[in-house]
Amino acid sequence: MYASQQASPPIDNMDNSTDENPHVVPKNEYSLNQLVSINIDCVSNLVNPKELLIKGPTEIGIKLLLSPELTFSCLTKLKTLSLTSIKSFPENIFKSLGTISTTLEILEIGDCEFLPDDFPKFLKQLINLRSLRLENCYGRWEKFSKESFEVIRSLKHLKKLELINIEFNVELQLEKCHGITALLIIPIYASQSAATNCHLLECLEKLSKTLTHVVWGLTKELLRVTDLFIKQYSQNRQNRLNLGYNIDMPETKPYNNIPILRSKIPKPQPEGLKTTEIDKEKSNNINMLSVPALRDWLDLVMINANTKVIKIPYSATTRVYLSVEFDNL
């Protein structure tokens, strides 16, 4: 506390709508008995701290403890609160933190899948919040994700939003966040990766007039699975014809393509944009969009924004920050 998967199987369906691909995102399961317990009652002894950072190594989960009678009256000048690596929150944690609601400007939550249900209620109290970072937004997060985004849109001073390892089923909520000017997003790509990329393309286009800084993170695991998909259907032309695949796959650089739905080719299209069609007769078919083409599309659509597309291993996603990618943030 501070105050201040390697192998992949053959792929039969690149955008399976029901099954998760365990080789894209490693699943970490924690037993409460395996967690490191940290009691934060000592916080009451701090004298007007401006930052409170509670974190541990990513491979070690923290069980946060506090006494029921603990108050955070000493945190009335707190500007930054970071809670990461926490796999077990006290039920009353956000009720106890209510005293900091008018001063907090930066909030980081490392494991949204373990948050208590009253997180949106706490978030709503942070009327002066300028920067919000949410990591590992899947699992239980879906239970209150819609409500959380409704709150995010209501925070008038919130300009910077970082969404790390998010299960991207919130496009209808995110595309309405016109108050956000700087966005970092790394989808979790556990399933429906082609649909996820299409939804994010559409979402960014709708936010193109208000965003000034954008970072889109592509996991190396997604890129590897995409390469395997391309390789599998390039090996035997006759097998592809038998399966209804009607064109040859071109030679491509490794880690350089993402899947998108054929019906959702990004528009407007940069000059020279090429996509590879697969399975043209099926409604849920897939194209391949190269990473350079994706970068060109972002530059074309988001003319008022500084944009980046980065490739990152899943294990390193939580080390990506907007302030590191852009010097002027």
The pLDDT of residue 101 is 77
Mean pLDDT of the region 167-171: 82
Residue 259 near residue 286, CB atoms below 8 Å: yes
The pLDDT of residue 4 is 44
Helix/strand/coil (H/E/C) assignment for every residue in the chain: CEECCCCCCCCCCCCCCCCCCCCCCCCCCCCHHHCEEEECHHHHHCCCCCEEEECCCCCCCEEEECCCCCCCHHHCCCCEEEECCEEECCCCHHHHHHHHCCCCCEEEECCHHHCCCCHHHHHHCCCCCCEEEEEEECCCHHHHHHHHHHHHHHCCCCCEEEEEEECCCCHHHHCCCCCCCEEEEEECCCCCHHHHHHHHHHHHHHCCCCCCEEEEEEEHHHHHHHHHHHHHCCCCHHHHHHHCCCCCCCCCCCCCEEEEEHHHCCCCCCCCCCEEEECCCCCCCEEEEEHHHHHHHHHHHCCCCEEEEEEECHHHHHHCCHHHHCCCC
Highest mean pLDDT among 91-100, 131-140, 239-248: 131-140
Which is it for strands 257-261 and 286-290: parallel, antiparallel or unpaired?
Answer: antiparallel
Q: What are the tens digits of pLDDT across the range 274-295?
A: 555 544 444 347 888 999 999 9
Residue 113 near residue 136, CB atoms below 8 Å: yes
Q: What are the tens digits of pLDDT across the range 51-85?
A: 999 887 766 788 889 888 777 878 888 999 999 88
| CATH 3.80.10 is right for the domain spanning 26-188 | yes
The model carries a pTM of 0.83
Q: Name the residue with tokens 């490794």.
A: 254
Gyration radius of the chain over CA positions: 22
Q: What are the tens digits of pLDDT across the range 130-158?
A: 999 999 998 888 889 999 999 999 999 99
Q: Where are the domains of the chain?
A: 26-188, 193-329
Higher pLDDT: 49 or 232? It is 49
Per-residue pLDDT for 221 more than 50?
yes
The pLDDT of residue 244 is 57
